[in-house]
Structure 1
Amino acid sequence: MMILTTPRLTLTPFQPADWAFFLALRQDPVNMQFMAPISTVEQIRQTFEARRANPEAFILRAAGEATPLGEAGLLISQPHPEVAEVGYSVVQTAQGKGYASEALRALCEHGLHTLGLEAIHAWALADNAGSVRVLEKLGFERIQVLEKAYLLNGVYHDDCQFRLVASHFTRKA
């Protein structure tokens, strides 16, 4: 079982006991405002089980604490195993404290240096300034903007694709 650690976080694989947290996270309208419409409990359960089956999906916790702060993970491309997509979400009370950046840095280091990925992709709505800032701070480059391409809760949003290549990522000193 892979566990990633940072100075302030422990990233552990999804466990059955994480279900209640994941359900609450995915039913929180503030958390989901830039991600997707709130799904049914069954759809959320399917997503949870997919995370449990993915060895590169993690629950974020403050070091030494039991209460989850969020989730993050890599989804390695089946046809191109040298490439992955990254996703992350942090509870509202933990946002703006650098946890997403810290977790994403750990995931990128793991993916690029341990797993040998060549590139990691991410998507963020242009309106999601916090997520865009996290990605850019870590060296992700915006490679395209799909204007009014993502329909979320009846509103079309610009969807931005970002890419981080191994040669542009450095380990934090």
Structure 2
Amino acid sequence: MATITTPRLLLTPFEPSDWAFFRSLREDRDIMRFMASIASEKETRRVFAARLTAQHTFVIRTHDDDTPLGDIGLHVSAEFREEADIGYTVIPQAQGRGIASEALRAVCDYAFNQVGVKAVNAYVLADNVGSVRVLEKTGFARTQVLEKAYEIDGVKYDDWAYRLECGAA
């Protein structure tokens, strides 16, 4: 499994020792408000187990501190091998410092140059202003607005689709 380095960050594959961090992310209402309902521990363990075996999922850390700051993952489409979806989470204490943008750029570069995809797609709730800003700053273009298409805790939200094509950033 790959490790990705940037000037500030080290993106490493998930390890079993990352469980407590992953669980804390998935139980944090401030983080999950833009992602999904908070799942049971059993479901969170199932998702974590999938992260342990996934090829292109990473924990975000800085070079000089082993404390996890977030996670980022790339899912290559089984049907369309030249496309992938990307998702990321950064803890509130690390937001606003360019961590998500730097990690996103690095994983997209990895996707285009190492994995061989031609386009990366991202989906974000319209209300998630910070993530919209990260995507647009990184060169993603909004391609679709899915009105009231995503539901969290019984509330429907607009979901925006973004895309970055190889060579576009």
- Give deviations 1:2-23, integer Å, cap 9, x for gaps: 1101111100000000001000
Aligned residues: 169
The CA distance in 2 between the partners of 1:167 and 1:17, in whole Å, is: 36
Equivalent position of 2:146 in the other structure: 146
Equivalent position of 2:47 in the other structure: 47
The CA distance in 2 between the partners of 1:112 and 1:134, in whole Å, is: 19
Matched, 1:84 2:84: yes
The CA distance in 2 between the partners of 1:117 and 1:154, in whole Å, is: 35
* Aligned-pair identity (%): 50
Equivalent position of 2:13 in the other structure: 13
User: Helix, strand or coil for the counterpart of 1:85?
Assistant: strand
Equivalent position of 1:115 in the other structure: 115
What's the offset of the Cα at 1:139? 1.0
User: Helix, strand or coil for the counterpart of 2:167?
Assistant: helix
Which deviates more, 144-153 or 21-30? Answer: 144-153
- For structure 2, the residue ranges without an aligned partner over 5 or more in a row are none
1:19-58 to 2 correspondence within 5 Å?
Answer: 19-58=19-58
- Give deviations 1:79-128, integer Å, cap 9, x for gaps: 11111000000011111111000000000000012211110000000000
TM-score by length of structure 2 reads 0.97
The CA distance in 2 between the partners of 1:42 and 1:11, in whole Å, is: 26
Matched, 1:156 2:164: no
The CA distance in 2 between the partners of 1:13 and 1:144, in whole Å, is: 31
What's the offset of the Cα at 1:155? 1.7
The one-letter amino acid paired with 1:166 is: C
Equivalent position of 1:66 in the other structure: 66
What's the offset of the Cα at 1:150? 1.1
- Give deviations 1:112-147, integer Å, cap 9, x for gaps: 122111100000000000000101111111110011
Equivalent position of 1:100 in the other structure: 100
Runs of 4+ aligned residues of structure 1 deviating over 2 Å after TM superposition are none
The CA distance in 2 between the partners of 1:17 and 1:64, in whole Å, is: 19
The one-letter amino acid paired with 2:22 is: F
User: Helix, strand or coil for the counterpart of 1:133?
Assistant: helix
- For structure 1, the residue ranges without an aligned partner over 5 or more in a row are none
Which deviates more, 148-157 or 104-113? Answer: 148-157
What's the offset of the Cα at 1:151? 1.3
User: Helix, strand or coil for the counterpart of 1:159?
Assistant: strand
User: Helix, strand or coil for the counterpart of 1:124?
Assistant: strand
